[in-house]
Amino acid sequence: MADPIYLDHAATTPVRPEVLAAMLPYYDARFGNPSSTHRWGREARTALDEARERVAACLGASADELCFTSGGTESDNLAILGGWRVLRSTGRRGVVTSPIEHKAVLEAVHKTASEGAEERMLAVDAGGTVTLVDARAKINESAALASVMWVNNEIGTIQPIAALAALAKEHGVLFHTDAVQAFGKIEVDARTIPFDFASISGHKIGAPKGIGAMFLRRGTPLEPLFFGGTQDRGRRPGTENVACAIGLATACELAVAERETSSAKYRLLRDRLQAGILAKVTNAVVNAGCADRAPHILNLTVPGADGESMLMALDLNGIACSGGSACQSGSTGGSHVLAAINPAASTGASVRMSVGSLSDEAAIDRAIDVFTKLAMKASGMVAA
Amino acid sequence: MSQKPRVLVAMSGGVDSSVAAALLVREGYDCVGVTMKLFEDGADLPDRPCCSLDSTSDARRVAQLLGMPHYVLNMVDHFGHDVIADFVSEYAAGRTPIPCVRCNTFTKFSDLVAKADGIDAAFVATGHYARVAGGQLLRGADDNKDQTYFLWGIDRGVIPRLMLPVGTLTKPETRQIARHLNLPRVADKAESQEICFVPGGDYMAVLRRELPADAPALIPGPFVLSDGTVVGTHEGFARYTIGQRRALPGGSAEPMFVVAIRPDDRAVVIGPRAEILGNGLIARGVNWLTDPPKVGDEVGVRVRHRAPIVAGEIVRLEGTEVEIALQSPVAAITPGQSAVLYSGDVVRGGGFIAASRRSRAPMPVLS
């Protein structure tokens, strides 16, 4: 078999060499605990403070507005539960979200509901975008918090975050956005859009797994999830993951500096992949194909094909992609995102392919070739 | 490098399918392991699509050790429809189902074969104790473990594509191989005779969950003798199966058994041992794994898992219904269970028992 092709950058990415190089000293000579007062501690503290400033700057924020976390899931949970638990005493009970969120958001919102919140699901149109009409009805004076992802992880749709954040602000509702798939692909700037919380994850942008960050606008109330220390102003107790924080800072800076060029490159590759497949698999449907999409994600449904067989066959033929989000392909349950926008997707094979640093034209062309053959066989089409 | 054909190996995480996979890998087949997720593990937690059964993790670990790819397939919808729903409706109809038969027929050797087609796998392998030879399905070499009782319903056309590597082994040999291969966690796993979707063997809990509270099978009804005398009240006929002695009213001179279940008036008929003996049976939904036998043919008949194979004769054969006369009486021939027919070690086919015959059926008139 020819070298396998990785088309699952939305699931995770390799750690960039620059990132790893920046981290290594903090596993070695500069191993100190940033809370220690001696020279080892000071050295680690300096690096951590700098990392916090650097990540914050990448989000248009100040250092005090940034918490390091273990990743996107923790950031989402901390923002939603931490925000809700402060606000529930105000009498505002609504917690607003969309049915196409990542499970880290959906389940955190379900948790608020078990604590007395009134869960409000925003309508999503067939293109996979939250509708503002419904948002205006649900993000109101009785709502405490709203959480809508910036870029959907399965279909890549870009949500109207500027309008939603403004709407929330107008009604005194805290607004969180899961920007895990958006950061590094489209501009995420706290100075231009008034979101109160934003989640980012390191391993989607070339930093290691296990590090992420939560932006928290200055003055926003938060009840911590963890207890037992004063680290990060008590918002996130526990000895900081210094090396990974530095890795995240390095990756964020690279992502922001390269954003326009890499996004343009990814868009060309993604569109090449899409056009190449559609040219032959003429009955394939691009999910959210007409919507405003982030540049790196392509989600296709091949009618009449079996999703699980298709994914296994793609993998066995060297094409790595996924059926929904990575978590779901562990047990390959149906996608709740596709179910929300395209009920017909369940009658075919839906595949998410996401381009990134490991993608080039040759790989895309080979992926088109393999995908096309398998899809035509799986859906009973005769190869041309 | 020429490679042996691809085999899709169904891996449950148990010792039998793990050893099956190991043997095929050792023989050089291009093995792809799959574990089927058949039902939600903990229906109380519907929002957890990633919930992993321990057995799935064990299967994955074995596949990792063997260096083969492993996937989890979600077959919850089909299994729920083809197996669990049927299990429930059979109990509701006063019969005693064997879900493993339908799982093999519909899930493992139909749905899973379709998945194998999707990845160009020439063969499907499982850890069943049965053998394949010359396009026929044969009893497993280990008489104690033979699982052909559950396999009669599969599509005959699938047999040439089956690989059943532990079918030639005894269970102790299988465990021994697992130990040799350093699969310690699976090697010493306790044998489970449980129905996979019935935790703790409490099938009544499944019925209570799936049936309305006032379903006839779950509400009180009479215990009657064959002469119609009412001798007590039971708490729902779904709790009973033919031949059962437990939870019957006392006070009889000799041991009493469940003789019949009558859903129409919710009666559980009880009687002495003589009344549970049958000399013949009618089976429906018959499936043949060889060319069909003819009326008058002698066959071996098994009416429940691990019961001895007894001699019988085919006395009627109409469409998918067969009537068999038994040479000597058999106890507790139970509607819903299977009647599996053998010629020596070869599985001829089988069907679902619809009724037992007290008296030996008259011989058909030969034309």
Q: Are B128 and B334 in contact (CB under 8 A)?
A: no
Q: How far is CA A322 from CA A2, A262, A313, A319, A335, in A?
A: 20, 22, 12, 10, 11
Q: Do A331 and B47 touch (CB under 8 A)?
A: no
Paired strand residues for A300: A286, A351
Print the SS3 string covering B301-345: EECCCCCCCEEEEEEEEECCEEEEEEEEEEECCCECEEEEEEECC
CA distance B77 to B121: 23
Nearest to B71 among A110, A306, A312 (CB): A312
Q: Are B49 and B23 in contact (CB under 8 A)?
A: no
Residue B363 has pLDDT above 80, yes or no: no
Question: Residue A220, SS3?
Answer: coil
Whether B49 and chain A come into contact, CB under 8 Å, resolves to yes
The closest alpha carbon to B70, from B111, B120, B5, B13, belongs to B13
A30-69 residues touching B, CB cutoff 8 A? none
Q: pLDDT for B193-205, tens place per residue?
A: 788 898 888 999 9
Q: pLDDT for B188-246, tens place per residue?
A: 887 777 888 988 889 999 999 999 999 999 999 999 999 999 999 999 999 999 999 99
CA distance A342 to B241: 47
User: Where residue B51 falls among pLDDT bands split at 50, 70, 90?
Assistant: very low
> Which positions of A are catalytic?
327
Q: Are B145 and B171 in contact (CB under 8 A)?
A: yes
pLDDT at position A47, please? 98
A354-383 residues touching B, CB cutoff 8 A? 378
B110-139 residues touching A, CB cutoff 8 A? 114-115, 117-120
pLDDT at position B49, please? 34
Residue B43 has pLDDT above 50, yes or no: no
DSSP A324: S
CA distance A3 to B236: 62
DSSP A4: P
Residue B50 has pLDDT above 80, yes or no: no
Plot region of A10 (φ>0 → left; ψ -120 to 50 → alpha; else → beta): alpha
Low-confidence ranges of chain A (pLDDT < 70): 1, 324-333, 344-346, 382-384
Paired strand residues for B299: B312
Q: Are A48 and A244 in contact (CB under 8 A)?
A: no
Q: Are B333 and B356 in contact (CB under 8 A)?
A: yes
Residue type, A96: V
Cβ contacts of B71 on chain A, cutoff 8 Å: 308, 311-312, 315, 332
Q: How far is CA A29 from CA A33, A41, A187, B199, in A?
A: 12, 12, 36, 54
Question: Residue A285, SS3?
Answer: strand
Whether A339 and chain B come into contact, CB under 8 Å, resolves to no
Structural element, H or E, at residue A158: none
Whether A189 and chain B come into contact, CB under 8 Å, resolves to no
Residue A373 sits at φ, ψ, to 5 deg, of -60, -45
Question: Residue B168, SS3?
Answer: helix
Residue B149 has pLDDT above 80, yes or no: yes
Cβ contacts of A308 on chain B, cutoff 8 Å: 71, 73-74, 115, 118
Cβ contacts of A331 on chain B, cutoff 8 Å: 37, 49-52, 72, 74
| A–B interface: beta-carbon pairs under 8 A | 57
CA distance A205 to B138: 56
Nearest to A332 among B52, B74, B119 (CB): B74
Whether A330 and chain B come into contact, CB under 8 Å, resolves to yes
- Listed in sequence order, the residues at least 6 apart from A125 whose beta carbon sits closer than 8 Å to its beta carbon are A131, A341
DSSP B363: P
> Which positions of B are catalytic?
103, 196
Whether B366 and chain A come into contact, CB under 8 Å, resolves to no
Q: pLDDT for A245-260, tens place per residue?
A: 999 999 999 999 999 9
pLDDT at position A345, please? 67
Residue type, B289: L
Q: pLDDT for B1-41, tens place per residue?
A: 458 999 999 999 999 999 999 999 999 999 999 999 998 86
Between the two ends of chain B, the Cα-to-Cα distance in Å is 62
Question: A266: which 2 tokens?
Answer: 């990814």
Q: pLDDT for A129-143, tens place per residue?
A: 999 999 999 999 999
Q: Are A261 and A254 in contact (CB under 8 A)?
A: no
Mean per-residue pLDDT over chain B, rounded:
92
Q: How far is CA A351 from CA A327, A375, B116, in A?
A: 14, 11, 19
Whether A346 and chain B come into contact, CB under 8 Å, resolves to no
Question: Residue B259, SS3?
Answer: strand
Q: Are A177 and A165 in contact (CB under 8 A)?
A: yes
B202 burial class (0-12, 13-18, 19+ CB within 10 angstroms)? Answer: exposed
Sign, Cα dihedral of A319, A323, A325, A331: negative
CA distance B318 to B303: 20
Question: B218: which 2 tokens?
Answer: 């779950």
A144 burial class (0-12, 13-18, 19+ CB within 10 angstroms)? Answer: buried
Whether B42 and chain A come into contact, CB under 8 Å, resolves to no
B96-115 residues touching A, CB cutoff 8 A? 114-115
Residue B277 has pLDDT above 80, yes or no: yes
Q: How far is CA A377 from CA A36, A350, A383, in A?
A: 62, 15, 8
CA distance A34 to B172: 58
Query: How many Cβ atoms are within 10 Å of B86's Cβ, its own excluded?
Result: 17
CA distance A200 to A248: 10
Residue type, A346: S
CA distance B68 to B32: 6
Q: Do A331 and B52 touch (CB under 8 A)?
A: yes
Q: Do A309 and B119 touch (CB under 8 A)?
A: yes
Q: pTM of the entire structure? A: 0.91
Task: Say if the ipTM goes beyond 0.90.
Answer: no
Whether B57 and chain A come into contact, CB under 8 Å, resolves to no
Residue B324 has pLDDT above 50, yes or no: yes
Nearest to B118 among A103, A312, A330 (CB): A312
